[in-house]
Amino acid sequence: MHSDNKLWPESHDLTKESLAEGVMLLRAFCREDAPLIYSAVQKVDSVSPFRQMIVPSGHTMSVAMTNTGTFGWTTDRQGYRYTTVDPATGQPWLQMPEILFSLARRAAEAAHFPHFVPNSCLINRYSTRARLSLHQDKNEEDYTQPIVSVSLGLPATFLLGTLRRSETPRRIRIEHGDVLVWGGPARLIFHGVAPIAAGTHPLTGAFRINLTFRHVAEPH
């Protein structure tokens, strides 16, 4: 039964749940810091505004994206890549705010991945019906460090696959303040996000915000 005095219905308590080898769900890990994290996201948006990118097939993504950190993930007709300059502004991505860097490190450590040094943070903004199809995060060219995925705002159904695309993914409900970490043997799992249901969140309004922290190999 749910009590009425919660900030958001169905909020979980702070727990650590191993979903698979190398996959750890930290429920409510950043719920208290959420307003500060969201302020940092707004600052990033003011430098490099959220935009819907085009994938090589020519399709426009339903998710709007921006980045902070040394490297930012982008896509256009030519393909997926990491850049140090935002193609939309011609300026470097905003340096990663300290609050985001330290959050990602703490989450990785809690999930038994010490020494995580994120140099890239992709920020996804989902409006109603936005979705992300099943994919692997593999443009980083360094799979020794984990992925730390922080979620704010509207809830989502995360599609947790395996190393094989053909296997049906598990459906995991992810809520405001939850952090999911995957790495080691799970670093290249297939994953995605089911279409977001309409709603309003007290902090983010009509959106779900997701931040994924990565370590991208320096160009060689």
Q: Point out which residues bind Fe ion (CB under 5 A).
A: 137
Closest CA to 192 of 160, 146, 217, 151: 160
Binding marks (x or -) toward ligand SIN, 67..106, rule CB under 6 A? ----------------------------------------
How many residues contact ligand SIN, by CB under 6 A? 10
Among 210, 214, 215, 216, binds ligand SIN (CB under 6 A): 210
Which parts of 113-172 interact with ligand SIN (CB under 6 A)?
Answer: 122, 124, 132, 149, 151, 158
133 by DSSP, 3-state: which?
Answer: strand
Tell me the DSSP string of 51-72: B--B-TTSPBPSSEEEEEESBE
Q: Is 193 in the site for ligand SIN (CB under 6 A)?
A: yes
The whole-angstrom separation of Cα 148 and Cα 106 is 10
Binding marks (x or -) toward ligand SIN, 7..46, rule CB under 6 A? ----------------------------------------
| Minimal CB distance residue for ligand SIN | 210
Q: Is 204 in the site for ligand SIN (CB under 6 A)?
A: no
Minimum CB separation of residue 2 from Fe ion in Å reads 31
Minimum CB separation of residue 136 from Fe ion in Å reads 7
Q: Which residue pairs, CB below 8 angstroms and at least 24 apart, start in 101-104?
A: 103/30, 103/33, 103/37, 103/150, 104/148, 104/150, 104/213
The H-assigned helical ranges of the chain are 34-47, 98-110
Other CB atoms closer than 10 Å to residue 175's CB: what's the count? 21
- Answer with the entry of ligand SIN, Fe ion, none that 132 interacts with (C-beta below 5 to 8 A by kind): ligand SIN
| 80 DSSP β-pair partners | 75
Closest CA to 29 of 42, 16, 10: 16
Minimum CB separation of residue 149 from ligand SIN in Å reads 5
Q: Cβ closer to ligand SIN: 64 or 132? A: 132
Residues engaged in binding ligand SIN (CB under 6 A) = 122, 124, 132, 149, 151, 158, 191, 193, 210, 212
